[in-house]
Homo-oligomer: A and B are copies of this chain.
Amino acid sequence: MSVIGKPLLFSYWRSSCSWRVRIALNLKEIPYDIKPVSLIKNGGEQHSNEYREINPMEHVPALQIDGHTLIESCSIMHYLEETRPQRALMPQDVYKRAKVREICDLICTGVQPLQNLVVLIYVGEEKKREWAQHWITRGFRAVEKLLSSTAGKYCVGDEITLADCCLIPQVFSARRFQVDLRPFPIILRVDRELENHPAFRAAHPSSQPDCPPEATK
């Protein structure tokens, strides 16, 4: 498989980490191809020998771009930001940049890892919803508090940033695990603001080539 030419994103339709990168690629209008990696078929294609060579963590996403293979969604988005400055997704101001990274890190280290598929398998079918609700609710309480001093139209001010790329997929996961979102009015407002944005719509799980037909309704 060539790594030169159009970037190739190893992605799973419902993975919030893949989704973050899809949003960033779309916002920056970078054309890319998708190679679906099913996290459930055959015990998970991410555990195959072939994919482990691409991403030794056996996670999606991975991005082949500029002759390199990159992993970890936030790292990938920062690489895109540093190499494709068009449609900046980070503010210029250092304090605002810190706030964007704070929101990203809070979601990417404090929420998502605990509702990752491998963890949910370990937790078990019976307890997994309660477990996911616990950690998402806990994280959203903190995100809502941060947003109360940073949000404009979006997470940080009135420009879309990497924080929004992280937040929107996490709201989808929250709904999937039936988290009560009523205590989080700012999160809900930003989510509503972005749900019909073309870059976010095209990145949505239901718009993905590997989305099963029964999930597109």
Interface, chain A (partner B; CB < 8 A) = 55-59, 66, 68, 70-76, 78-79, 82-83, 94-95, 97-98, 101-102, 104-106, 108-110, 112-114, 119, 122, 131, 134, 139, 141-142, 145-146
Contact = CB atoms under 8 A, between A and B. Distances in A.
Nearest to A101: B75
9 contacts: A56-B142, A58-B142, A72-B106, A74-B101, A74-B105, A75-B102, A75-B104, A109-B113, A122-B131
**Count of chain copies:** 2
Nearest to A100: B75
Contacts of A72: 101-102, 105-106, 109
Contacts of A108: 105, 108-109
A114 to B, nearest CB: 6
A86 to B, nearest CB: 15
Nearest to A74: B105
Given A72-B109, A82-B94, A113-B113, A56 B141 contact: yes
A134 B110 CA distance: 19
A82 B97 contact: yes
A94 to B, nearest CB: 5
A123 to B, nearest CB: 9
A134 B121 CA distance: 13
Contacts of A104: 75
Given A142-B56, A142-B57, A70 B102 contact: yes
